[in-house]
Amino acid sequence: MANVRADAVRNRRLLLDAAAAEFAEHGTEVSIARIAARAGIGKGTVFRHFATKEQLMAAIFSDQLESLVARGEALREGADSGAALLEFMAAGVELRSFCQAFTPAMREDPQIRAASDRLVAVARSLTDRACRDGFVRDDVTGHDVVLLINAACQAVAPLGDAVPGLWRRYLSMIFDGLRPEAAHPLPVPAPDSLTPG
Amino acid sequence: MANVRADAVRNRRLLLDAAAAEFAEHGTEVSIARIAARAGIGKGTVFRHFATKEQLMAAIFSDQLESLVARGEALREGADSGAALLEFMAAGVELRSFCQAFTPAMREDPQIRAASDRLVAVARSLTDRACRDGFVRDDVTGHDVVLLINAACQAVAPLGDAVPGLWRRYLSMIFDGLRPEAAHPLPVPAPDSLTPG
DNA sequence: AACTAAACGGACCGATCGGTCAGGTTGAGC
DNA sequence: GCTCAACCTGACCGATCGGTCCGTTTAGTT
């Protein structure tokens, strides 16, 4: 801390903000050069802070996953457990980086693994509570909820940002599928983890 | 027809098969060189048959969408309209190219546009029938069904092919969300079309 | 068998990307 | 204000991609 210069921390902040914005707007395939230009720093500076592009992505996405974990933990104490679970899922869809954080390549990173483990844990916690209160069918797990957030996220991907709030429609439909009233037996058991093997 | 050589049609067949297989296994970002190698032909031959990579993708994906349209039309005559809609959606998820055909870039292609229009039409037909028979809520449209097929397709994308039949679990959950028993009012109206504007 | 137009193949081109490095710049302790 | 390590920069490198081009091969006709 004492050994780090002031301009270094400032540039790091600029870099993280610019990269997060570019990833959100144009996906992870944007070039490092473009991110550096947006941040107003040189391309070499990017690689001074993060050795590879993957490490940069991991830093940003694990941060955003952790913020969602915090949101979920806060929602555990609300009164309406059903609305809390729905709000948690909505928050997950809203940070669109969600889906990008879950590519096979990204899951190698230990920060991403840790964050998604904690995400599944808080999702299970919210789900169990909503289940006890009768808002959610009893055969749905934390992994299910995380994957369904991803599904809702991708449902509207074909349309781009043409209809801004449309994802709420499909999240609402998917959430209706979690209610006990319409539950039909599921043909396949829930997965054990989000990582293959 | 008479003016086309036998080896040309054979190579075209090899190329289409190889490209479809590579796209299904590794996504649309596979290189033309790799596809050509798999087909056992030269890279230049690929561009003799399709001027650009996008045209090759459009040919393959519009073919697969058309096959799904045909499947849907056949399913319009079954006895159980609810099971028919579910089977249609399952067929859509099974050809994973589905999601790849719906990128913003791909929708420029007239073949893709035509095929997806027909796909929405047959989806609406199946949905209306299932709705009349009481299997499906009355506020769901053909566009919804197509987008939800896409959602189910992507739900398990994070896991790769680790759990082969897992998508059936999430398609089942999503389909439960279409049933009238659990229907809650939707916060956003259905989109008019799959193309922005 | 000879001919020709169509088809083939792979070296080649320009663009782009992630990542490196040598040399100039700057913030912080004295 | 002096010094030096930390930092920043953009030219540069090798790899890869989509797409082109031209010399060679081959299918089909007479």
Among A157, A166, A191, beta carbon nearest to B159: A191
Q: For position B2, what pLDDT does the model report? A: 57
Mean pLDDT of chain B: 94
Query: If pLDDT is split at 50, 70 and 90, which confidence band does A2 have?
Result: low
Q: For position B102, what pLDDT does the model report? A: 84
State the Cα angle at B80 between B78 and B81, rounded to 5°: 85
Q: Hey, which residues 49-108 in chain B have their CB within 8 Å of chain A?
A: 99, 102-104, 107
* Chain A nearest-CA residue for B173: A177
pLDDT at position A101 over 90: no
Q: Distance between CA atoms of A188 and B93, rounded to whole angstroms?
A: 15
CB–CB of A85/A127 below 8 Å? yes
Side chain identity at B65, as an amino acid letter? L
pLDDT at position A135 over 70: yes
Q: For position A23, what pLDDT does the model report? A: 96
* Chain B nearest-CA residue for A180: B182
Q: Distance between CA atoms of B86 and A177, rounded to whole angstroms?
A: 14
Identity of the highest mean pLDDT range in A43-47, A154-158, B156-160: A43-47
Nearest to A16 by CA among A5, B143, B50, A45: A45
Q: Distance between CA atoms of A130 and A138, rounded to whole angstroms?
A: 9
Q: Which residues of B touch A176 (CB under 8 A)?
A: 176-177, 182-184
Among B102, B169, B188, beta carbon nearest to A158: B102
Q: For position B167, what pLDDT does the model report? A: 97
Lowest-confidence segment of A138-147, B3-12, B14-23, B94-103 by average pLDDT: B94-103
Q: Which residue is nearest to nucleotide D8 (CA to C1')?
A: A45
Q: Does B166 touch chain A (CB under 8 A)?
A: yes
Give the pLDDT confidence of A173-188 residue by residue, as tens digits.
Answer: 999 999 999 999 999 9
Give the pLDDT confidence of B59-77 residue by residue, as tens digits.
Answer: 999 999 999 999 999 999 9
CA at A153, C1' at D8: how many angstroms apart? 38
Mean pLDDT, to the nearest integer, of A126-150? Answer: 98
Q: What burial letters (b/e) apply to A156-185, b meaning 16+ CB within 10 Å?
A: bbbbeeebeebbbbbbbbbbbbbbbebbee
Q: What burial letters (b/e) apply to B98-137, b meaning 16+ CB within 10 Å?
A: bbbbbbeebbebebbbebbebbbebbbbbbbbbbeeebbb
Nearest to A77 by CA among A62, A89, A88: A88
Is A148 in contact with B154 (Cβ distance < 8 A)?
no
pLDDT at position B161 over 90: no
Mean pLDDT, to the nearest integer, of A124-147? Answer: 98
Residue A125 main-chain phi, psi, to 5 deg? -60, -50
Give the pLDDT confidence of B81-124 residue by residue, as tens digits.
Answer: 999 999 999 999 998 877 788 888 888 899 999 999 999 999 99
Q: For position B197, what pLDDT does the model report? A: 53
Helix (H, G, I), strand (E, B) or coil at B141: coil
Give the pLDDT confidence of A17-60 residue by residue, as tens digits.
Answer: 999 999 999 999 999 999 999 999 999 999 999 999 999 999 99
Q: For position B158, what pLDDT does the model report? A: 87
Mean pLDDT of chain A: 94
Q: For position B171, what pLDDT does the model report? A: 98
B 155-184, residues with C-beta < 7 Å of strand C: none
pLDDT at position A100 over 90: no
pLDDT at position A104 over 90: no
Q: Does B149 touch chain A (CB under 8 A)?
A: no
What is the percent of chain B with per-residue pLDDT over 70, rounded to a whole number?
Answer: 98
* Chain A nearest-CA residue for B153: A151
Mean pLDDT, to the nearest integer, of A151-165? Answer: 90
pLDDT at position A63 over 70: yes
Q: Which residues of A touch B189 (CB under 8 A)?
A: 169
